[in-house]
Amino acid sequence: MSHKAWGGRFSQPTDKRVEAFTESISFDARLADVDITGSQAHARMLADVGLLTATERDQIVSTLEEIRQVIHRGEMPWRTELEDIHMHIESELIRRLGDTGRKLHTGRSRNDQVSTDIKLYVRDAIDHLDQLLETVQRAFVSRGERDLDVVLPAYTHLQRAQPVCATHYWLCYAEKFQRDRDRLADCRKRVNVSPLGAAALAGTSLPINRHKTAQYLGFDGVAANSLDISSDRDYLVEFTSALGLIAAHLSTWAEEWILWCTTEFGILHLPDAFTTGSSIMPQKKNPDVLELTRGKSARVIGAVQQLFVLIKGLPLAYNRDLQEDKLAMFTAYDTVAACLDLAAPVVEQAVLKRDVINARLEDGFLDATTLMEYLIRKGVPMRSGHEIVGKLVADCEAAKKRLADLSLAEFQAANPLIENDVYESLGARNVVRMLQSYGSGGLGPVKEQLAAWTKRLG
C-alpha cells in the first residue's frame, strides 16, 4: 500500500478497475502549473510559521520548479494509480527529496488544495476571456466608421421593422460583450478568495497562516468557514453561467449572420478563409464557423446545468462527486475561448453587400413608425395615428406602392393635418436622420456612441 498517500489503514490494494474509474489525471493534468504555484506558496508559509526550515522551503520550492519544467517538456509519466495531478506532483517531489518532500502537505488537504487550484485556474481563465472579449469588441467597433453610411433594416419577429445605422448593429454586440466582461469581473471578486488552509473540512491545529498564503498567491481575501470551503463550488457555477451567456450572445450573432449570408437575405459576404464547401455540390459556400459557434453554445449551456445538478444534492462537506466539476468547467471555458478567438477575424473581414442592401432598403415599410410619429407631432393621438398609418400601409400593399409614393392629396385624405413636409419623414435614410433619442439607431446618436466606444477601448 506504500504507493498510496492514504494507504496506511488499508489491507488490500485498490482494484485496477477502481483506479481507472476514480482517476482524474486524464483531465486535471492541466492544473499542474497552478498546483505547483499553490504548493510553493504553501511551503513558503510553512517556513514563515516554523513548520519548515528555510533550507527545506528552498529545496521544496526549487524542486517544484524543476518538476514544472519536466511537465512542460511532456516528460512526466501520468499513472492512474496516482489518481490526480496533486498526487503526481507530490509523489515526484518525495521521490526527489525524500522526507523533506513528505512535509509539504502539512496543514492542508487535497480538499482545500484542489479548490485553490481551480480558483487560480479560473482567475487566469477570466483574465484570458476578458482579453478575448475586448478583441471581439474592438473588431465590431472598428467597423463602426467604415459602415457608418450603411443603413440596415432591423427586425422583430424576423419581420422588417425599422431602419438603423449598420454601426448600431455593431455597437449592440459591443454592449452585450461588455456586460459579459462585467459579469466575469464581478465573478472574479468571489473567485479571488483563498480557500487554502481549510484542510479537509475543520481546519488544523497547526499554527499555519492562511492570510500569508493568500498574500503570496495574490488573493484579495481569505474564506472564513472551513466547512463551507470544502464544499463550495458556487464560483464554478457562477463562472460557467457567465460563460453560458457569452455563448448565447455568440450564438445570436452567428444566427443573424448565417441568415444574412443566405441567398434569401444576401446582404453579407463571408471571407473564404472562414467558410467551407460541400463534398457533392460545387457551388456551395457554407458558414460552418458560424454554425458551429451556434451549435457549440449547447455544450456551454449544458455545462452550466451539469454543475447545478452536480451540487444540488450533496451534503457538506467534500464529496468525490466534485471531481466531476472540472470537466464541465474545462468544456465551457475551452469552447467559449475557441469561439471568441474565431469571432474577431470573422467580424473584421466580413463585408456588407451595399448594393443588395440599398436595392431592397425601402421594402417592408420601414418608415411607418416615423410617419406615425409625424402625426403625433401634428397633434394626432398616438393610437389614432397608429390606425391611420396602418390603413395607409394596407392601401399601399394593395397598390404595390411605398408610403413615399403616395401623393399629398392621398395623405390628406387620410388626415388633413398632413402637409408637404411629410416627405421629410419618409424613406429609410430620412428615418435614420430623424431618430434622435439617446441610444437609438439614428445617425446622430450612433455617432455619439461610436465616439464613446472608441474612447472606451482606447
Task: Give yes or no for a contact between 177 and 153, defined as CB atoms under 8 angstroms apart.
Answer: no
Domain boundary among 106, 132, 157: 106
- How many independent structural domains does the chain possess? 3
102 and 122 co-located in one domain: no
pLDDT of residue 2: 46
Condensed to tens digits (0 to 9), the pLDDT of residues 152-176 reads 999 999 999 999 999 999 999 999 9
Can you name the residues that pair with 269 across neighbouring β-strands? 351
Q: Are residues 427 and 293 in the same domain?
A: no
**234 plus 304 within the same structural domain:** yes
Concerning whether 62 is annotated as a catalytic residue, the answer is: no
pLDDT score at 13: 82
Quickly count: other Cβ atoms within 10 Å of residue 354's Cβ. Answer: 15
Q: Is residue 33 part of a domain?
A: yes
Q: Which residue has the cell 463551507?
A: 228
| Cell digits of residue 138 | 474592438
Q: DSSP letters along 301-342, please?
A: HHHHHHHHHHHTTPPSS--GGGGGHHHHHHHHHHHHHHHHHH
**What's 146-201 look like in SS3?**
HCCCCEEEEEECCEEEEEEEHHHHHHHHHHHHHHHHHHHHHHHHHHCEECCCCCCC
Whether the pLDDT of residue 4 is over 80: the answer is no
- For residue 162, the cross-strand partners are 154
Mark whether 228 and 132 lie in a shared domain.
Answer: yes
Is residue 224 very low, low, confident or very high in pLDDT (cuts 50, 70, 90)? very high
Selecting among 157, 205, 407, 437, the annotated active-site residue is 157
The reply to whether 117 and 265 lie within a common domain is yes
Indicate whether 42 and 181 sit together in one domain. no
Rounded to an integer, the average pLDDT of 82-100 is 96
Q: Which domain holds residue 437?
A: 368-457
Buried-state track 44-76, b at ≥16 Cβ within 10 A, e below 16: bbbbbeebbeeebbebbbebbeebbeebeeeeb
Q: Which of 26, 62, 128, 278 is catalytic?
A: 278
pLDDT at 455: 97
Contact (Cβ atoms closer than 8 angstroms) between residue 32 and residue 68 = yes
pLDDT in tens, 189-220: 999 999 999 999 999 999 999 999 999 999 99
User: Which CATH number is 414's domain given?
Assistant: 1.10.40.30
CATH code for position 267: 1.20.200.10
157 as an active site residue: the answer is yes
User: What's the chain's average pLDDT?
Assistant: 95
pTM of the entire predicted model: 0.94
Residue with cell 402625426: 375
| Position 22 confidence tier, pLDDT thresholds 50, 70, 90 | confident
> What per-residue confidence (pLDDT) applies to 1?
39
- Given a contact cutoff of 8 angstroms between Cβ atoms, the answer to whether 184 and 242 are in contact is yes
Amino acid at 278: S
Examine the domain organization and report whether 79 and 119 are in the same domain. no
Query: Which residues have a Cβ under 8 Å from the Cβ of 40 and sit 6 or more positions away?
Result: 60, 61, 64, 65, 216
23-51 pLDDT tens trace: 899 999 999 999 999 999 999 999 999 99
Cβ within 8 Å of residue 144, ≥6 positions away: 167, 170, 171, 450, 453, 454
30 and 102 together in one domain: yes
pLDDT in tens, 286-312: 999 999 999 999 999 999 999 999 999
The whole-angstrom separation of Cα 70 and Cα 84 is: 17
> Can you give the pLDDT at residue 19?
84
67, 91, 106: which is the final residue of a domain?
106
Taking the C-alpha atoms of 60, 63, 64 and 68 in order, what is their torsion angle to the nearest 10 degrees?
A: 170
pLDDT for the residue 348: 97
Q: Judge contact between 300 and 240, C-beta under 8 A.
A: yes
**What are the pLDDT digits (tens) for 431-449?**
999 999 999 999 999 999 9
| Angle at CA of residue 111, ends 108 and 117, nearest 5° | 90
pLDDT of residue 458 exceeding 90: no
* Cβ pair 128, 336 in contact under 8 A: no
- Residues 445 and 352 placed together within one structural domain of the fold: no
Please tell me the distance from the alpha carbon of residue 249 to that of residue 157, in angstroms, as a whole number. Answer: 18
The confidence score (pLDDT) of residue 3 equals 65
Question: pLDDT tens digits, residue range 233-273?
Answer: 999 999 999 999 999 999 999 999 999 999 999 999 999 99
The three grid cell numbers given for residue 318, joined into one nine-digit string? 467534500
Residue 213 lies in a domain: no
Query: What is the length of the chain?
Result: 458
pLDDT tens profile 372-420:
999 999 999 999 999 999 999 999 999 999 999 999 999 999 999 999 9
Task: Name beta bridge partners: 159.
Answer: 156
Pair 251, 118 in one domain:
yes
